[in-house]
Structure 1
Amino acid sequence: MDFDETKRLKAKNLRYKKPIVKNLNLESITQKLWDIQEECENIRWYTDSEDGTDSLINALDGDEDEAYEFKMAFGDLCAECDQMREDLYEEWVPECFDIFFVSIGAGDLEGGLLGYDSYEGDYFGISCLDSFAEDEAKKKLKQLTKEEIITAARQCFKIYHAYIGLQNRYDSLKAAIDILRDKNTGVLQVVKEIEKLYEEASNELNRNYDYCKAAREWKSYTDALPNETWIV
C-alpha cells in the first residue's frame, strides 16, 4: 500500500472526528436560505405572469386583494431569508454550532451525519460511525465551561428556531402555489381554448355554416368535457 493510499484510509477512518448534521449545519442552512430566496423570486415571476395572476385570482374566488396579499407573502419571506443570511455573518454564531446539534442527536431527524475527510477535502456520510461522531462532539462540548455551554445552546436554538420558522413558512406557501399551478393553470388553459374555439366558430364568416371546421372543433371539444365543467 503506497503513502497516498495510507493517508486516504486514515482520513476516512477519522471522518467522525469532525462531524456535522447533514441538513442542520451552518453551510446547509445558508444554502437553503439562498434556495428559498431563489424559489420565492421564481414564484413572484410566475404570479406576475398573465397565467399566474389569473390562476391565483381564480383560485381565490376572484378576490384580488387576497391574491395581492398572497404574492406579498413570498416577497416578505424572500426579504427575511436575506436578512437571516446577513445576520449569520454579522451576529454571533457559536463556534460549536455544528457539533452542538451532532451531540444532541439531531442527525436522527435531519438526514443523518456527515464527517469531514481531510484527504478528500469534503464531507461524506458516516452512518456506521454515528455513535463515535456523537461521542466526539460531546467531548468537544465538555471542554467549554457550563456557562459557555448554556450561552452557546441558547444562541444555537435561536438560530435554529429562526431558520425552521422560515423553512416552514416556505413549505406552506410552496405547497399552496404548487396546487394552484397544477390545478388552476390547467383549468384556465381549457377555458382559454374554449373561448378561442368559440370566437372562431362565432365570427361573421362562420355564422352561416353550421358544419364549418371551427364549429365542429368547438362542439367536439365541449362535448368531451366532463359535466362538472359546466357547474357554476
Structure 2
Amino acid sequence: MEDLKNIILSLDINSEEKERLLKQLKAVQKTIDSAEFRYQRTIMDKAAITNILNASISEIEKQKAVIEKQKKEATHRASLDSIRAEIASMRTTKDLEKITPLIWLELNILNIPFVRSGVVLVHDEDTEKLGIYLATPDGKSIASLQINANQTVFSQKIFNSWKKKQALIDQWNETTFLEWANSLVKLGAIASAEDYLMSNPIQNLYLHFLPFPQGMLYVGNVNLLTEEELSLAQSLADTISTAYARYEDF
C-alpha cells in the first residue's frame, strides 16, 4: 500500500484529486485489514474448536475404555462367583465331579481361548500319585488316568512344577503327541494311539498348567496364551482349589 501511496503522490494531478485517491486507498487498506483480521480469527476459532473436539473424543474414548474394563472385570467376577456358588452347594465327593465340566464352561465365559482343558490332581505328594482328567472344549472326556508322576516324562515334569508352585508351559507337535499317546496306551488309559490321535487331530498345541494347592489347571490352545489370559486362568485355578479342598470335609 505504501508503494501505491507514493505513486498517487507522484501523479501530475491537482491536490484535491490526490486527496480523493488517498482516501480511497485508505478505505481499501481498512477493508483488507478487516478481512485479514476476520480470517485470522476464523483460523484461531477453528483451531480452538478442533482442540475441543479432539479433547472430547479422547475423553469419550477413555471413558469407554474404563467402562469396557469394568464390564469385563464384572463378567470375570461373576464367572468365578458362579463356581464358588456351585461349590457351596456340594455335599458329597460325587458332587465334585461337576467341577471338571465347569472348567471348560468358565474358560468360555472368561474368553480364554482353548481347545483342550482339564485338571491334574496330586492325590499323594509323598508317592507322587496323580489323577489326570482331560476334556475337549465341549466337555467330553479325552482321558482319565491315575498314575505315579515318574511313569511318564511329562507327568514328572508337571509334578515338579506343581511342587515348586510354578506354572508350566510347553509346546507339543505331532511327534510329541504320538509319544504321549503311546504312553497312555502303555498305562492302559486308552486302547489305541492311532484312534486317540484320529479323534483328537491337533498337530500343534501349547499346554498351560497353572498351579493350585491340590494340583494344576490345564488349558491347551493352538496359540500361546497372553499374560492377561494366563492371569485369568490362574484366578480360575485358585477358585477351583476351593472345591478340592472340600474333600477334607467329606
TM-score normalised by L of structure 2? 0.28
- Higher Cα radius of gyration: 2
TM-score normalised by L of structure 1? 0.30
> RCO higher in 1 or 2 (8 Å CA, sep ≥ 6)?
1
Q: Indicate the structure with greater strand content.
A: 2
